[in-house]
Amino acid sequence: MPDGTTTPSRRSVVVSEFTNSVLDPNAPMLGPIENGGTIIANTAPGCWGPMITPRLRGGHEVTTPVFVQGAEVGDAVAIRIRDITVTSIATASGHDSSPEAFCLGDPYVAARCPVCDTVWPETHVEGIGQDAVKCDSCGNAVKPFEIVHGYTVTFDETRSVGLTLPKEAAETIGKDANHYAALPDGSRQHSILTYAPSDMPGTLVRMRPFMGQLGTCPSMAMPDSHNAGDFGAFLVGAPHDYAITEEQLAEHKTDGHMDIDAVRAGAIIVCPVKVPGAGVYMGDMHAGQGDGEIAGHTMDVSGSVTLQVEVLKNYPIDGPVLFPLEEDLPPLAKPFTDAEKAKGQKLAAKWGVSDIDALAPISVIGTAANLNAAIDNGLARAATLLGMTVAEVRNRATVNGAIEIGRAPGVIQVTFLAPLAKLDAVGLGDYAREQYGL
């Protein structure tokens, strides 16, 4: 553990504790859990709830990290996502703005009451609406964020569809917000249902739950929502206590905040280890989201998550790799069928090609302050991982894959069919075989 003590590892850990929105490698972790063990958690909503809760020091409220036995700096932890279940009955979301004077540089990280000038003030809820969160010290409405255009959505019992609600129904839910949000007992956030937005009533939506945050602890204290190259850029030179340099961001982040909709039940995510024990954490469950999360936010919900973790030694890159469900792969990155392989063999025989490479899908995550830089980051990581040139990765992602947008402004996936022998060389081949039946 971080304090040097040792305790017997456990086969499973149940997580019901949350951070104050800061991932701190020097804070106590839960566990330790044995290599191959199971983590079960009840997660709290991300984004809007924490965004209107000034005492929280980041944009989300993630689970306390778990120490994984045998995970050392320079390794990776492969996380099999066994189950994701939405427990919220309803949520609210929308496109945001940040009113002036309600923060110290960054409304996600350092909310401020402009009347008593308290940073991270304790607050309480009075009534409903966008002025409902009040400062405990002076009674002023504290709102580092406002909803410009928003909606309240409730879900059917099977958690397969949702429906946005008109004003009266949204306000009814807002008056019992914690119940409808199914906030976990350990959560300290104000539910965004309190705002009761209703600008888009009568819209039917599909549910396709996934984890917006899933990864390992950064190697310096960092607000949870900023553990990525795009949001992390807001910390560079910031005027609050969590300011860092560009070099520190690159060195310490682990890109756990991805908002990639393929990080869902059945997928395998491989995450870099930058602190002893890895510190596996999760949060920011989304009921569904289109690529890019272009509104800035989506339907954040409470939910239960089951993960199985496995240590992978000597991982060569500093960011995550994803093995999505086959149905989530771009068309050109799907494994070839037997019929396609047979046609390929005929071409090989005709043209004297002795061997056709065995190929397998892989999705390498890239993050940076903007999408172009994130693509460069993902291409460089893929090249380093597989011992290729960036030019080769570009070609393979063009003819056998795609660049996918996880989140604007700067999270992408470089997804393509890679030579299976290259994956075997870095210990990833068996995950591809498992995932795609190769």
pLDDT tens-digit profile of 267-308? Answer: 999 999 999 999 999 999 999 999 999 999 999 999 999 999
Q: For residue 75, how many other CB atoms are within 10 A of its CB?
A: 20
What is the three-class DSSP state of 254? coil
Q: Are 390 and 383 in contact (CB under 8 A)?
A: yes
CB-based contacts of 158, cutoff 8 Å, min separation 6: none
pLDDT of residue 3: 57
Is the bond leading into 32 cis (omega within 30 degrees of zero)? yes
Q: What average pLDDT is seen over the chain? A: 97
pLDDT at 369: 98
Please state, as a whole number, how many other Cβ atoms lie within 10 Å of the Cβ of residue 240. Answer: 17
Residue 7: its pLDDT value, please? Answer: 81
Q: 81, exposed or middle or buried, with CB in 10 Å at 0-12, 13-18, 19+?
A: buried
- Answer for the pair 62, 15: CB distance below 8 angstroms, yes or no: no
The two beta strands, 90-97 and 112-113, are: unpaired
Predicted local distance difference test score (pLDDT) of residue 4 = 55
Residue range 157-192, pLDDT digits in tens: 999 999 999 999 999 999 999 999 999 999 999 999
Backbone angles phi, psi at 374, to 5 degrees: -65, -40
Angle between helices 390-399 and 371-386 (to 10 degrees): 110
pLDDT confidence of 6, banded at 50, 70, 90?
A: low
For residue 133, the surrounding DSSP H or E stretch is: strand 133-135
Tens digit of pLDDT for each residue in 126-142?
Answer: 999 999 999 999 999 99
Whether 232 and 106 have beta carbons less than 8 Å apart is answered as no
Global pTM reads: 0.96
| 3 state DSSP class of 430 | helix
pLDDT tens for each residue of 391-411: 999 999 999 999 999 999 999
